[in-house]
Structure 1
Amino acid sequence: MSSDKSLSLDFYKYLCQKIGSEEDVRVRRLTWIVCDLGFPEVPQITSGSIGEGLDIKGSDFDIMFIDPLFKVYESDRDVNVRIIKIPLVLDTGNTHPCFTQLRLPLHFHDDSNLLNSRMKQMFEQDCLVNKLSNEKYKLDSSYIMNRDSPQPGPLTTIHGPCLSDKYGEYDLAFCLKCDKWISPAQSWVSRPRTTWPSPELITKITSCGVLFVPIGCKGSSRENLEWRVSFSVAEKCLIYSFSHTQLLCYALLKILLKEIVEEHEDLKGLLCSYFLKTLIFWISEESDPSIWKPDNIIQCFMACLKRLIYCVEYSTLLHYFIPDNNLLYMRFNSDLKHSMTYTLKNLYQQGIDCFVNSETLKDFTSLNCEIPVLLTQQTIKESYPVSRKVTLKPFLYYMLHHCRWTNLARRIFTFFLSPEHDDLELQDSKFQPRSNNKHRYNEYKHIFGKLSIVLSSKTKTIPGWLMLASFFYVHKRYYTSIIIINHALKKHQDEEFYQNNIATCLIQNKDSVWTLLQKEKIPMLLKTHKLDFIFLGRNWSYIPPEVKLKKRINMIPSLPFAHFLHFLCYYHLHATSSCKESLQKLYDLYSLYYDNVTEDSKNIVLSMMHSSFFIGIGFQMIGDTITARKGFQFAANWDRTKITDAAARLSCLS
């Protein structure tokens, strides 16, 4: 394999850890589809980066509600008077491409009294025709959303076509829908292309129709009466059809823009995520889908960046569905164009090294590629030499050496080596530094191999990552340990968030959600991902020496353990501020557990006890004996079964 392909594969694996694997993305997408199904009365579409399956810094969270009171038609003759909705007709005669006005049909008679006095106020008469005002519509939507809420209401800001909360954390847009694909976008259906998007996907997209959001073309004389055509549903379908390499390239462009380019104050707001999405749509349509593969990801990204430079340099980026609209027309003056072009060209010269200046991807150079994504039969055989066969059950030994290494075999093997199984053989003699380097290397390789196998189990992912992080900490691979801890904490945050949403939507719309989940070959969202506890043996060789476990098998709360590992790594790296931040997180956990503890909540008591115990060790290590004494005191008070040596440590400090 060439060095370029090898580097691309390493980079791809790294991005899967930082941005999300194919399975992570699938879980996120399915979660939001389920959430959309949870509101059948007012159809909802989750859009933005989060709805597309990305969860990176600055990911926008947009919800589009399809207003059930209106229905849009392309012409008067299409209006269906049998549908009990307020009909609106497109009027594109004097509007910029991608914009339209919405008017009542010429011979509209409100026999059913659909237009009440409040709705009538949203219309304005223009050239003897009643047209729906986007400004008045947004004000009415804001009133509806906030009228039943405590003052001030939750959506107090009008931001473009959306209503936003005061912190700007999420946008909500009420939009109108036309069930048919409109004429201005008809050329997209039939224009020449390679093989993407497929005819089947095009048919699916056009069957979904289009949406209209309440915002006009900036600078238009009738800006308040115009509505922008939105292809959010179509764009979501196209993004979902991407290979994982395509999606990661899209994410890289977003990270480049938000975390590097926009660090230049004068360049903020000149480009936006929608431009990047449009760019990658065009490139995908013009290229052979076979180029989008993991061992070519760097070249694919660089091609995208090169195309972006061209678009900025010539102020040309055509709308993907309606090419008559140039998104970059009059976007920036010559000075800003020169500054943007210069910045992008400089980043292009750096290649992927440009990401060392980003917050999300700055640690790529320190990534240890030993962290396994998939395990091969050869890797496992090397980790379990024949001389160790007596430690394995005969069945496992036979399967390891004589059976085909299928997914089923791997899962069976992993089950018997999982950290919660009685016959786990990871508790070797406590690691002792030896003069025999070969022995130390073999032991390192042996334990690492076992932990790697544990990580191949889908249901043990997070505890497995934390065990691996502890292993690297013991072997003084502090940067690698930090990366893995961050990965485990991120997965915990994702799973907790997505499972809470699934639970809510199951309550709201049980039948539809359950049907969707059953269609999945692997109902990932119903799996019991748990970060609650990790099981560690007293004499296991990868337990931090600062922690002295008293029982043969110890149940340790994983969140406190993760933050304590963070502290230990930063302590040895002499990162004082990060040490204090980790200890603060432990204290916050203790406070959270304390606020929720009851006499029957044994797990919370255990978590609270370990949190305070780790606080005591941490502050003792940095020399703050007063706070350390308090931590050990709290731990000793809650440690009624003498799980820790908090009382002994407290006695020594006293």
Structure 2
Amino acid sequence: MARSSIEKRESLHFYKYLCQKIGSEKVVKTRRLICVISDIGQGEKMMTSGSKGEGLDLNGSDFDAMIIDPNFKVYQSESEVQDDCFAIPLIMNTEEAQPCFTQLWCLNHNIQTIPNVLEKHHRGYVLSGELFKLCYKNFSDVKIPALYSGKIHGPCISDKNDTLDIAWCLKCDKWIYQAEPWISRPRTTWPPHEIISKVISSGVLMVPIGCKGSINEHLEWRISFSVAEKFLIFSFSHTQLLCYAMLKILLKEIIEKHEDLKGLLCSYFLKTLMFWILEETDQYQWRPDNIIPCFMACLQRLLYCVKYSILSHYFISDNNLFYLRFNTNNEGLLTTILTNLYKQGINCFLSSETLHDFQSQSYETTESLINRSLQQIMPTFCAIRTNGRTDRVLRLLYNFLHVSMTALSRVLFLFQISEACTLVPEITQYSFSLGNKHNYSRYKHDLSHLVIGSHSDAVSGLLKLASFFYVHKNYEASLNMIRYTLQKCTSEKIYTTFFRNKNTFNPIQKHVLNLMKHEKLHTIMKSLIIHPCGFEVDSSIIPQELQQDVARTHNVFHTLPFAHFLSLLCYYHLNDISSCRQSLQRLKYVQWILSDCGTIIFEPESLNTIIFCGIGYQLIGETYIARHTFRVAAKLDKLNSTSAASRLFSLTS
């Protein structure tokens, strides 16, 4: 067999392997759609970014989002400021900053409006990037539970575990002068004209971080092309996207294992490298049967850029991203490592965590491919959670009716709409002084939303409906709903908390998935997936007994113990103490089984289950056992994130 035929066969085999490990074209499309639909629900203020926004879900990938501050609007000159602009206008000054950076000057009549984030400079008042971040860090602690006690990380506010990065940024609607040469510079066939048009119309963002080493670093803002870059990434062929993913894996799982090289390169450099390569090469080369030579060409280009310390910014080429990036020691070490990796060819991945088994991996059966696809989609689906505003539901519904063109997008829209509907009733505050007629109307309004929301998964939507009935003292209806949901909590169900660690499916789940392999995605997810039962801050549909658990932050409960706890509460209010005790015993058994098997991996959910037991003992008058139970939970609650300590205090004071 000719060598070229062998190389094509090896490339094709490796391409199929990568599709299984990193994601097939359909899986990537689904991930992107999930993020896009979620962003639509937020209006024009939020954009999912980072690997997940690009359609990848690699080891160590965190969730990145950019939120545009609507209180400001950036302009390139004072003459562009619109008279009817409600936002505070800021004027770019790039003359005193390095390429890709700018200062933002505030017009004099707005100085008193935002004094806490301004600094006096020799030409007037400048919006300080550092003060802006500090302001939003304090705001995040109060408004976004996940960022409580977080930290500033570059231009972002990050959570304690570095799994969530939020960048508050500003928007300039027009394409900036410095990037105008990008529009008409010579290129082959990529990016196509329609993508260039989209890029230009997207404008640019300003993120609060200055040029390292600049005397005005704390006052500067980096010009970000994140929206444009997302358009470009989405235009990649699947072969190109896989090569990009392989570079990221090489960086995170091989190069950065060397402590001296950690943080020296970043994903943004790899993205920029890919943009330049694609602009300069023939698109026909990027075929599945040529993926290994394509990747090796990317690695060779990276080696060249490091060796000669040159990597031009893709949109503003005057900015060399590698200028003064390396010293003699780390440049030499990095060059040596990249040279050795290049000599190994595709075997360089033998030491990576994600792709180490490519030589021994055989083609998988249809069953395992279905399982893997669902596993690859679910982490992204579960990371994008809605909030409970009514306007979000309306926005999602409008786009579902007018924009959704494919069957897949309609399925994902329906799931997002269903979940959003479950949250709408939580913001309802009943005022009985308005009269029975008004309250009955609100009751029907909330009930209808919860019925729609019951289609968001197999169980949690139904349990929120049962909780709603309980809050309205319709205990029999609540018990009927609970009995129905408990019948659905069977061993083939897939709890989404598992996907935090990307566990594999058990044999029963694999068997059921295989039986359902010809069903539509909507049917599979509606039948098998169970989300945690989450409640927003001060939710109006959570039992009064749990109000202090949502007084400060959103809270989530494992569905099975929550169902038994809700059953206990219903029997207690019906004065059926015998059934109440039976529910408590079932709750204890479930808590023991789940903890013993190690399946509750999200600590607050596990602690909440112990707290349920304590509340149950307290209700039936067994105060000593209740006190002991709360003490156990409080001891396990290292971060004081639950109500265990306060409940224990109330019983001992």
Give the TM-score taking structure 2 as reference length.
0.63
| 5+ residue gaps, structure 2 | 416-454, 460-489, 496-502, 511-531, 533-556, 568-585, 598-653
3-state DSSP class of the match of 2:254? Answer: helix
Instruction: Describe the shift of the 1:527–1:11 C-alpha distance in structure 2 as closer, same or farther (beyond 3 A).
Output: farther
Q: Which of 465, 487, 492 is matched with 1:557 structurally?
A: 492
Match of 1:130 in 2: 125
Matched, 1:199 2:202: no
Instruction: Describe the shift of the 1:347–1:508 C-alpha distance in structure 2 as closer, same or farther (beyond 3 A).
Output: farther
Equivalent residues of 1:71, 1:86 under 8 A apart: yes
The residue type paired with residue 70 of structure 1 is F
- CA distance in 2 between counterparts of 1:495 and 1:131 reads 39
Equivalent residues of 1:531, 1:559 under 8 A apart: no
In the TM superposition, residue 82 of structure 1 has moved relative to its aligned partner by 2.1
3-state DSSP class of the match of 1:30? Answer: helix
- CA distance in 1 between counterparts of 2:239 and 2:288 reads 6
In the TM superposition, residue 180 of structure 1 has moved relative to its aligned partner by 0.5
Equivalent residues of 1:506, 1:514 under 8 A apart: no
In the TM superposition, residue 532 of structure 1 has moved relative to its aligned partner by 8.3
Instruction: Describe the shift of the 1:612–1:109 C-alpha distance in structure 2 as closer, same or farther (beyond 3 A).
Output: closer
3-state DSSP class of the match of 1:317? Answer: coil
Instruction: Describe the shift of the 1:54–1:219 C-alpha distance in structure 2 as closer, same or farther (beyond 3 A).
Output: same
Matched, 1:18 2:21: yes
- CA distance in 1 between counterparts of 2:508 and 2:349 reads 24
3-state DSSP class of the match of 2:228? Answer: helix
Matched, 1:509 2:395: yes
CA shift digits 1:346-392 (9 cap, x unpaired): 111111111111111111112112x36xxxxxxxxxxxxxxxxxxxx
CA shift digits 1:274-311 (9 cap, x unpaired): 00000000000000111111111111100000000000
Match of 1:448 in 2: none
3-state DSSP class of the match of 1:24? Answer: helix
- CA distance in 2 between counterparts of 1:153 and 1:559 reads 28
For residues 123-272 of structure 1, the aligned pairs below 5 Å read 123-148=118-143, 154=148, 156-272=150-266
Equivalent residues of 1:499, 1:525 under 8 A apart: no
CA shift digits 1:175-223 (9 cap, x unpaired): 1111100011111011000011112211111111101001110110111
3-state DSSP class of the match of 2:35? Answer: helix
Match of 2:35 in 1: 32
Match of 1:93 in 2: 95
In the TM superposition, residue 60 of structure 1 has moved relative to its aligned partner by 3.4
3-state DSSP class of the match of 1:56? Answer: coil
The residue type paired with residue 36 of structure 1 is D
- CA distance in 2 between counterparts of 1:500 and 1:142 reads 21
In the TM superposition, residue 488 of structure 1 has moved relative to its aligned partner by 6.2
Instruction: Describe the shift of the 1:312–1:205 C-alpha distance in structure 2 as closer, same or farther (beyond 3 A).
Output: same
- CA distance in 2 between counterparts of 1:357 and 1:342 reads 17
Instruction: Describe the shift of the 1:154–1:556 C-alpha distance in structure 2 as closer, same or farther (beyond 3 A).
Output: closer
Equivalent residues of 2:31, 2:377 under 8 A apart: no
- CA distance in 2 between counterparts of 1:207 and 1:57 reads 34
- CA distance in 1 between counterparts of 2:38 and 2:176 reads 28
3-state DSSP class of the match of 1:220? Answer: coil
Q: Which of 5, 11, 18 is matched with 1:2 structurally?
A: 5
- CA distance in 2 between counterparts of 1:352 and 1:508 reads 49
Equivalent residues of 1:44, 1:65 under 8 A apart: yes
For residues 73-472 of structure 1, the aligned pairs below 5 Å read 73-105=75-107, 108-110=108-110, 119-148=114-143, 154=148, 156-369=150-363, 371=364, 455=366, 464-465=367-368
Matched, 1:525 2:412: yes
In the TM superposition, residue 249 of structure 1 has moved relative to its aligned partner by 0.3
- CA distance in 1 between counterparts of 2:457 and 2:82 reads 54
Instruction: Describe the shift of the 1:211–1:495 C-alpha distance in structure 2 as closer, same or farther (beyond 3 A).
Output: closer
- CA distance in 1 between counterparts of 2:65 and 2:177 reads 26
The residue type paired with residue 492 of structure 2 is P
- CA distance in 2 between counterparts of 1:187 and 1:339 reads 36
| 5+ residue gaps, structure 1 | 373-454, 456-463, 466-483, 534-554, 569-588, 617-654
Give the TM-score taking structure 1 as reference length.
0.63
Equivalent residues of 1:316, 1:328 under 8 A apart: yes
- CA distance in 1 between counterparts of 2:330 and 2:283 reads 35
Bigger drift between 521-530 and 158-167 goes to 521-530
Equivalent residues of 1:31, 1:498 under 8 A apart: no
3-state DSSP class of the match of 1:13? Answer: helix
- CA distance in 2 between counterparts of 1:19 and 1:356 reads 16
Matched, 1:595 2:561: yes
3-state DSSP class of the match of 1:365? Answer: coil
Match of 1:497 in 2: 382
- CA distance in 1 between counterparts of 2:373 and 2:230 reads 28
Which structure has the larger Rg? 1
Equivalent residues of 2:492, 2:508 under 8 A apart: no
Equivalent residues of 2:205, 2:223 under 8 A apart: yes
Instruction: Describe the shift of the 1:299–1:501 C-alpha distance in structure 2 as closer, same or farther (beyond 3 A).
Output: farther
Instruction: Describe the shift of the 1:71–1:149 C-alpha distance in structure 2 as closer, same or farther (beyond 3 A).
Output: closer
After superposition, the CA RMSD in angstroms is 3.6
Equivalent residues of 2:39, 2:47 under 8 A apart: yes
Instruction: Describe the shift of the 1:593–1:223 C-alpha distance in structure 2 as closer, same or farther (beyond 3 A).
Output: closer
Equivalent residues of 1:34, 1:516 under 8 A apart: no
The residue type paired with residue 311 of structure 1 is C
- CA distance in 1 between counterparts of 2:566 and 2:377 reads 25
Instruction: Describe the shift of the 1:80–1:128 C-alpha distance in structure 2 as closer, same or farther (beyond 3 A).
Output: same
- CA distance in 2 between counterparts of 1:133 and 1:67 reads 14
Name the count of aligned residue pairs. Answer: 449
Equivalent residues of 2:31, 2:381 under 8 A apart: no
Bigger drift between 299-308 and 166-175 goes to 166-175
Equivalent residues of 1:278, 1:320 under 8 A apart: yes
